[in-house]
Chains A and B, each alone.
Chain A
Amino acid sequence: MTELLLDVQGLETSFKTAEGTVHAVNGVSFNLKEGETLGVVGESGCGKSVTMLSILGLIPSPPGKVHAGSAKFFDQDLMKMSRDEIRAIRGAQIGMVFQDPMTSLNPVLTVGRQLTEPLMLHLGMTKKQAEERAAELLEMVGIPNGKDRLSDFPHQFSGGMRQRVMIAMALSCSPQLLIADEPTTALDVTIQAQIMDLVKRLRNELGMAIIWITHDLGVVAGLAQRVIVMYGGFIIEEAQVNELFANPSHPYTIGLIGSLPRVDQGESKKLYSIEGLPPMLFDKPNHCPFAPRCKWVMERCWNENPVLETVAPEHRVACWADVKKERPR
């Protein structure tokens, strides 16, 4: 049995805004084994990014506040660390890639300068060693003439190339965990295919664990081993990837998978659509967050928020209804 790399328990994060407190993450628990790829799926505002930022200590406070929870990375609790302690881990043992490579690279520093910084800071390399390694890293992520390109600025790279630079930077200190937050959302599909191919290759070569946050179920299907589905700041379903797509059990997951047309299927039936809108999260719900949009809603759903329960091996669902059998569980 492989060891747990990350164990998150009872994470709660909220933000104070002019309109009221937004309860972005409401008690999220999950774990990750060494070398495992976990897909985190959900729509905008479901709390998937905030969950990861909370773990990494990157929630700006104020307005944000992490109220509760622990996040054990190996044996250390990331939540209890001081700023300096967690800084030593971010970028070294945990690498990060964000959605928009243009805003996450510094436009006035050369790519070389940005790539060598973590190497000198975390690994104590000299400038010369760091530059050599940086050139290797660029080649590793498929940027030819790595050495010459170190003196280029981010605007001299295309979108896909910039995302490769971000991946090179995230992997520069050989992290055990890579957290990727919608890294291919801003890219065209052929470039997305290049990046996903690259990530799969690097995963095999380097063996790091990956948390891949996305709204695209297709990307998850091709990359993840296990998937978490989030809605309204809660995890509402969790399963191995094949199990999730074969037996989706939460009404939201079922709706999400049903609402996607497939490029490999022709017949043009009406798309399944989930009526209504995602919740605003101003009140911490004491009922199921999906109840207002759910076709199978029962009285109990309005009185109690369901917790995750195991319905099949390694498959947990937060729903009072057994949707397939059309009756309460």
Chain B
Amino acid sequence: MSDNNVLLRVDNLVKHFPIMRGIFQKQVGAVRAVDGVSFEVKRGETLGLVGESGCGKSTTGRAILQLYRPTSGSVNFDGVDLVKLKGEDLRKMRRKMQMIFQDPYASLNPRMSVGEIIREPLIVHNVATEADAEERVKQLLELVRLNPAFASRYPHEFSGGQRQRVGIARALALQPSFIVCDEPISALDVSIQAQVVNLLQELQDQFNLTYLFIAHDLSMVRHISDRVAVMYLGVVVELATRNELYNSPLHPYTQALLSAVPIPDPVAETTRKRTILVGDVPSPVNPPSGCRFRTRCPIAESVCAEERPEFREIKPGHFVACFFAERFL
């Protein structure tokens, strides 16, 4: 199956982090951070990837960009399997895919000026001469609505929202087609979040960018995404177009997750029904057998402990990994 519309196809992606013990560093187990994830991202779309802390959403993003080499599976980007690439070939591909990080305080080198930070990818990838790079940095700063005169300033002179703009300018420097946004707004104040999200959307329209938008804020993901994937304990449990997923969630976890999000409207809050999950997320070192969610699932039955539910297309474009999803159709 080859679809020209698909920019990225992730197939059965697995990333385990080994746990070592003793002086001989023998492997005694593994954190199964990502355990068989498959999805596609179409050209020019935003795929939202949501889930709670520790569900493997950031690891998925990093494994796609080969910042973590996957344990198994394939990542097909623009017709090339990134997992098989290394060295110079991989470095060349990296131009086309960039990342925006969560913490704008930790992801910018405090000893480099903002101009140097944005220029670095251009120099590293040999795409611009010194003089051209200077000009390009100015353009990029203007693009993210920062004063080009700020190029000589250092990150500590900027607020969180402004630093995040610097991070976005750096990601755009090589004119990538795909950007992994890893919780780009969760460290920012509410009134600043809207500024950054609006900027990301404008840039997407302007350059036809494709985003993988990783976040735990389900309201913001609904706002920015075309399609949304929900992760739980290393697996994708549900994937659908935005309105389909939020209006008719079919996986019990998605239903509980959506009902837990507070709505800034006291009238709606008093009338809505909540599914409150019991207990905590189990450890990814020793995940439950069968369905990962069965230990907290309100409708679990014995089959859920024995078999892993297949991630299947229950309606066109709506995928779900639950034996009983038909009940909610």
Contacts and interface: CB of A to CB of B under 8 A. Distances in A.
Contact of A273 (B162, B191, B264, B266): B191
Contacts, number: 129
Interface string B164-191: 0000000000000000000000000111
Contacts of B258: 263
A190 interface: yes
Contact of B274 (A193, A261, A264): A193
Interface string A172-213: 000000000000000011111110110000000000000000
B195 A261 contact: no
B264 A44 contact: no
Chain A interface size band reads 35 or more
A162 to B, nearest CB: 11
Given A189-B52, A189-B257, A222-B262, A44 B189 contact: yes
A277 interface: yes
Nearest to A269: B223
Interface string A254-285: 01110111111110101111110110000000
B197 A217 contact: no
B49 interface: no
A264 B245 CA distance: 11
Contacts of A216: 262
B30 to A, nearest CB: 21
A271 B263 contact: no
- Dominant SS among interface residues on chain B: helix
B289 interface: no
B219 A197 contact: no
Interface of B: 52-53, 159, 161-162, 189-195, 197-198, 201, 216, 218-220, 222-224, 242-243, 246-247, 256-270, 274, 276-278, 280-281
12 contacts: A190-B276, A194-B278, A221-B264, A245-B264, A245-B267, A256-B190, A259-B191, A261-B223, A262-B265, A263-B222, A265-B222, A266-B242
Given A245-B267, A266-B246, 13 more contacts: A43-B190, A44-B189, A189-B52, A190-B260, A197-B276, A221-B265, A260-B219, A261-B219, A261-B222, A263-B218, A273-B191, A273-B198, A277-B192
